[in-house]
Amino acid sequence: MSIAAKELVVRQIEKRSAELGRQVLATADTLHRFADQLRQDELAAGTATVAESAAEFIERVGHYLQESDFETLVSDAEQFSRERPVAVGAGGLILGLLASRSIKIAAARRELSEGRGGARENSDPIDSSDAIPPRARRRPSRARKLESRVSNGK
């Protein structure tokens, strides 16, 4: 990768980080207003304190993202991953699971939109077993079996 391309990538990351920081700060502002509303209710005073603490933390993150340059972001990420490898591994696992679910959902939607997952034009409208997702066609769960026994008086 050429130096110009690297500089372009660095500028793009810094720009996106600043944009994300502004969005995070807007979220913190909303949470501050929510905490103020909660303070008006005596019963929600504890919740207001928690919301205010969360807003302050989110605000610090927003300022960090907005003000940090690429080198700072990278060195802090490296330091965090060295200090908390389990957290980084767990985060990677969670992101992987979310990605796999997103891909699975996108594939199912694509199949439905292409007509492969739903009832077909020439199929019997009464027999729509092909429209039922495979997961729903499984055998009844233990809870359903127990419900069935109770309702049948067995």
- Distance CA(22)–CA(151), nearest Å, equals 56
Where does residue 119 rank: exposed (0-12), middle (13-18), buried (19+ CB within 10 A)?
middle
Residue 88 has pLDDT above 60, yes or no: yes
Judged by DSSP in three states, 128 sits in coil
Give the pLDDT confidence score for residue 72 in this predicted structure: 93
The domain spans of the chain are 1-83, 85-117+130-154
**If you average pLDDT over residues 128-136, what whole number do you get?**
54
pTM: 0.56
| 126 exposure class (CB count in 10 Å sphere: 0-12, 13-18, 19+) | exposed
Reported as a pLDDT band with limits 50, 70 and 90, residue 120 is: very low
